[in-house]
Structure 1
């Protein structure tokens, strides 16, 4: 999830993807920017997204998003809510599971 503390502009899905690629390029250069990252879902209202990346690129993506601090000259932050090698595992929150 991306957070804009001062109520800044909400990017479209294309702008969000470009922001992710820019973060990768800024930290890891052209090799990082070439990392295949897919935006599977994106909710502009909540600024939440599900990203898909090969497992070998997870650390690069996570570090690039963590260190990104500005979007359009305004402070922002990314928060990783869940990570999983299986898409189905992201459909629910295991901490809220009732048996």
Structure 2
């Protein structure tokens, strides 16, 4: 079998990922909308524009920001609003953890 045949055979055996409904908002988008409703678009843009939801696990939502100052400020000033928005997005959320993301160069190395 030539290389094209081997590629075709391996592709035929690969599982097909489920289709994602493009109209269904992502968790990040749901939390974003909830935060904007809660704190307003200006504050959201100032403090949450670099905020990313990483996922939900065991009742907790993990989110990330690029710098520690932003993490500390959001925790101090906006954690109750963030928790309410997260709970509206997913009823299983009981707590929120904010982590500081690794710089892009570090993420590319690992």
Q: Which TM-score applies when normalising by structure 2?
A: 0.39
Question: Which structure would you say has the larger Rg?
Answer: 2
Bigger fraction of residues in strand: 1
Q: Which TM-score applies when normalising by structure 1?
A: 0.42
Bigger fraction of residues in helix: 2
